[in-house]
Amino acid sequence: MVQRTCIAEAMSMDLSPKRPVKAYSSDGGAYYDWSPADLPMLRAASIGAAKLSLVAGGLALPSYSDSAKVAYVLQGKGTCGLLLPEATAEKLIPVKEGDALALPFGVVTWWHNASSPDLVVLFLGDTSKGHTPGRFTNMQLTGSTGIFTGLSTEFVARAWDLPQDAAATLVSTQPGAGIVKIRDGHRMPDPSDKDREGMVLNCLEAPLDVDIKNGGRVVVLNTQNLPLVKEVGLGADLVRIDGHSMCSPGFSCDSAYQVTYIVRGSGRVQVVGIDGTRVLETRAEGGCLFIVPRFFVVSKIADDTGMEWFSIITTPNPIFSHLAGRTSVWKAISPAVLETSFNTTPEMEKLFRSKRLDSEIFFAPTN
* Tens digits of residue pLDDT in 288-339: 999 999 999 999 999 999 999 999 988 887 778 888 888 888 888 999 999 9
Residues facing 139 on adjacent strands: 64
Closest to 237 in 3D by CA, of 130, 319, 326: 319
- pLDDT given at position 367: 66
Question: C-alpha 80: how far from its chain's center?
Answer: 17
Q: Show the low-confidence residues of the chain (pLDDT under 70).
A: 1-10, 367
- pLDDT given at position 9: 64
Residue 16's alpha-carbon distances to 77, 79, 270, in angstroms, are 31, 34, 10
| Single-letter code of the amino acid located at 214 | N
- pLDDT given at position 1: 47
Q: How far apart (Å, rounded) are the C-alpha atoms in residues 136 and 142?
A: 18
Q: How far apart (Å, rounded) are the C-alpha atoms in residues 220 and 213?
A: 18
Alpha carbons within 13 A on the beta-carbon side of 145: 14
Sign for the CA dihedral angle at 255, 294, 258, 109 comes to negative
The secondary structure of residue 361, as a DSSP letter, is S
Classify residue 197 as exposed, middle or buried by CB count within 10 Å of its CB (0-12, 13-18, 19+): exposed
Question: C-alpha 166: how far from its chain's center?
Answer: 41
Instruction: Count the neighbouring beta carbons within 10 Å of the beta carbon of residue 170.
Output: 15
The pTM of this model reads 0.93
Residues facing 247 on adjacent strands: 300, 362
The secondary structure element, H or E, covering residue 211 is: strand 210-212
- pLDDT given at position 58: 97
Q: How far apart (Å, rounded) are the C-alpha atoms in residues 46 and 125?
A: 9
- pLDDT given at position 10: 66
- Alpha carbon dihedral 197, 203, 208, 212, in 10-degree steps, equals 180
The secondary structure of residue 341, as a DSSP letter, is H
- pLDDT given at position 327: 80
